[in-house]
Chains A and B, each alone.
Chain A
Amino acid sequence: MTKMNRISALFAQATEPVLNVYTTAGFPRFEDTMTVLNALQAGGVDIIEVGMPYSDPVADGETIQLSNQAALEQGMSVAHLFAQLKDMRKTITVPVLLMGYINPVLQYGVEAFCAKCAEVGVDGLILPDLPMVEYEASYREIFEKYGLYNILLITPQTNDERIRHIDSVSKGFIYMVSSASTTGAKTGISADQEVYFSRIAAMNLQNPRLIGFGISDHESFMKASKNASGAIIGSAFVKMIAQAKDLSAEIVDFVQAIKGKK
């Protein structure tokens, strides 16, 4: 009997807003990946998203783009990342997602990639440039064979019919992009965004939702969590670790501040 996917288990048990933090693999330094993951868990993060650096990260704004570039310059690759995550599950118990773009996955070999993910204990994938129609036609069976959830995204522009279709093929959670833009820490959530959040909440979708893009602090985290199960923070975190003097300690502080536990 297969164990329940960690993402499903998390949402089934969560009583507080869920915090998902994104970090770019091999950033700030090539060897920092596991240090960052361990510190995130120690700080109290609920889900970790590990970004696979790519030359052309089209969904990402400047902060994450620069972190991708820095990691690539230091030699990060899919193969190296899997090597770094080899013993991840000896210390990390929270759900872990890999986020990236489809080309490096295609080059690695989709089945080989999924097999490796299952081997190191990755629970799901976020691939913004893998069209849903292609996923359903060519890759869904492979992902399901290895117990990997494919997290799909919706934006303020996605129509109701498509949202419902996404809900019907989704597992784990739905990634709600907060605005039609790229990633990047913003100065708060607008009234228009709150309207969008409540509109989607009123659809009573089967899957929990996490709101991402533009979330940067405790206030925006709590605002997003009013109309969803939680939120995702990326750029604000990457900006912080780029400058951190004491990586682990500052990561723990950051997470606790977002959760309002400081």
Chain B
Amino acid sequence: MQTEDGQVIEPYSISAGLDYPGIGPMHAHLFESGRATFYGVTDEEALVAAVECSQLEGIIPALETAHALAVFERLQAKPNEIVVVNVSGRGDKDLSTYQNRLKLND
């Protein structure tokens, strides 16, 4: 994430792992070559997906992973299609964020 002049822009994400302005060369190449589609996901969408996964699967996903899970809404996958999700991490490390943002202690 950079300005036209090439200065790095301060990023933001609810998740630590995504709160970073850089991207790895593989992802950059997938984008440049058109082999991948990239979706933007908001904090709220990620939180909703995290709760859904926890309740339906009994897996509390990491906040980073929750962003991937939030894409299902947009994918509109059909029942006979196979979707593979990289569940990149557990949500144990994010419990306090979940508690605060979902107001679970109120």
Report which A residues bind B (CB closer than 8 A). Answer: 54-56, 72, 77-79, 103-108
* Number of chain B residues close to chain A: CB under 8 A: 6
* Chain A residue with the shortest CB-CB distance to B10: A55
Inside 8 A of A107's CB, which chain B residues have their CB?
A: 2, 4-6
- Cβ distance B4 to chain A, nearest Cβ, rounded Å: 7
- Cβ distance B68 to chain A, nearest Cβ, rounded Å: 28
Q: Does any Cβ of A come within 8 Å of B7's Cβ? A: yes
Q: Does any Cβ of A come within 8 Å of B36's Cβ? A: no
Asked whether A55 lies within 8 Å of B4 as measured between CB atoms, the reply is: no
Report the bound CA distance from A142 to B72 in whole Å.
Answer: 47
Asked whether B5 lies within 8 Å of A79 as measured between CB atoms, the reply is: yes
A-B residue pairs in contact (CB < 8 Å), sample of 25: A54-B6, A54-B7, A55-B7, A55-B8, A56-B8, A72-B7, A77-B5, A77-B7, A78-B5, A78-B6, A79-B5, A103-B2, A103-B6, A103-B8, A104-B5, A104-B6, A104-B7, A105-B6, A106-B6, A107-B2, A107-B4, A107-B5, A107-B6, A108-B5, A108-B6
Report B1-43 residues with CB < 8 Å from chain A CB: 2, 4-8
Report the bound CA distance from A62 to B31 in whole Å.
Answer: 36
Inside 8 A of A56's CB, which chain B residues have their CB?
A: 8
- Cβ distance A111 to chain B, nearest Cβ, rounded Å: 15
- Cβ distance B22 to chain A, nearest Cβ, rounded Å: 10
* Chain B residue with the shortest CB-CB distance to A75: B5
Inside 8 A of B5's CB, which chain A residues have their CB?
A: 77-79, 104, 107-108
- Cβ distance A156 to chain B, nearest Cβ, rounded Å: 29
Residue picked from B2, B4, B6, B8, most chain A C-beta under 10 Å: B6
* Chain B residue with the shortest CB-CB distance to A76: B5
Report the bound CA distance from A108 to B2 in whole Å.
Answer: 12
Report the bound CA distance from A72 to B9 in whole Å.
Answer: 12
Report B47-79 residues with CB < 8 Å from chain A CB: none
- Cβ distance A233 to chain B, nearest Cβ, rounded Å: 26
- Cβ distance A84 to chain B, nearest Cβ, rounded Å: 14
**Besides A54-B7, A77-B5, 4 other CB < 8 A contacts?**
A78-B5, A78-B6, A104-B5, A105-B6
- Cβ distance B28 to chain A, nearest Cβ, rounded Å: 13
Report the bound CA distance from A56 to B20 in whole Å.
Answer: 13
* Chain B residue with the shortest CB-CB distance to A103: B6
Report the bound CA distance from A55 to B4 in whole Å.
Answer: 13
Inside 8 A of A108's CB, which chain B residues have their CB?
A: 5-6
Inside 8 A of A103's CB, which chain B residues have their CB?
A: 2, 6, 8
Report the bound CA distance from A77 to B7 in whole Å.
Answer: 9
Report the bound CA distance from A56 to B2 in whole Å.
Answer: 11
Report the bound CA distance from A78 to B5 in whole Å.
Answer: 7
Inside 8 A of B2's CB, which chain A residues have their CB?
A: 103, 107
